[in-house]
Amino acid sequence: MIFREVEDRDLIAKARKGEVEAYNLLVSRWEKRVFNYLLRLVSNREDALDVSQEVFLKAYQSLPKLDDAGRFGAWLFRIAHNEAFSMLRRRKPEGEMPFETGTPVRGSELLPIELSLAVERALSRLSEEQREAVLLKVYQGFKFEEMAEILSCPVSTVKSRLYTALDLLKMTLAPAILRGES
């Protein structure tokens, strides 16, 4: 991880000097993570791909403004967050994301593909903010402080969103046996 961080730093320095290939390599390294994050956030493959493209274009144009090359990941995801939410704002009116409590999943009975779909469904039932907190922590492995930076909010808000989301997901996803059902 540290080695990778140093490499990214080196690539960023080269990209800043106008070495196109260095930036192309950065894109190759981060595109899958950014795409998956956006896919779960906007719930549409084409939109996720379009926004991913915008994210890497904006990042390239803003590269001279990046203060600390060691925080490239959080910086990139901050751009992704901003792009995704401006797209979501354009797409639908504010506050149109009702939370639904879905049918609990009986995990032990499901195949991996079914489980994956169940997780996808459970995530889609969270509010955008809760879902994003889960995506950044569980799937992208960012620390609370980095998440606060990405989302432009206090660490306490980040924790609150994540914990509420995990409680809701626990209700939806936990196998019946652990919830005391027979």
Partner 1 sequence: MSCERYDWKAYAVGELAVNECREAEAHAASCDGCRGELARVRLTLETLSMLREEEVPRRIAFVSDKVFEPRWWETFLRPSFAAACVIAAAIIMHGYMTRPPAVDSAAIQAQINQAVTRAVADVQQRNADLETQLTTLYVKSTGIKYQ
Q: Within 13 Å and on the Cβ side, how many CA atoms surround 91?
A: 14
If one asks whether residue 6 binds partner 1 (CB under 8 A), the answer comes out as no
Smallest gap from Cβ 111 to partner 1, in A, equals 10
Looking at residues 82 to 121 of the shown chain, list those that interact with partner 1 (rule: CB under 8 A). Answer: 105, 107, 112-113, 115-116, 119-120
Measured from the CB atom, the residue of 96 and 129 that comes closer to partner 1 is 129
Angle value at C-alpha 181, between 112 and 137, nearest 5 degrees = 45
If one asks whether residue 157 binds partner 1 (CB under 8 A), the answer comes out as no
Binding footprint of partner 1, residue count (CB under 8 A): 42
Structure tokens at 69: 């090359």
Residue 37 neighbours by CB distance under 10 Å:
24
Looking at residues 8 to 67 of the shown chain, list those that interact with partner 1 (rule: CB under 8 A). Answer: 20, 23-24, 27, 31-32, 35-36, 39-40, 45, 49, 52-53, 56-57, 60
**Closest-CA residue to 142 (of 49, 80, 63, 94):** 80
**Closest-CA residue to 11 (of 170, 20, 2, 108):** 20
Query: Three-state SS for 90?
Result: helix
Which positions lie near partner 1, rule CB under 8 A?
A: 20, 23-24, 27, 31-32, 35-36, 39-40, 45, 49, 52-53, 56-57, 60, 105, 107, 112-113, 115-116, 119-120, 123, 134, 137-139, 143-144, 159, 162-163, 166, 169-170, 173-175, 178
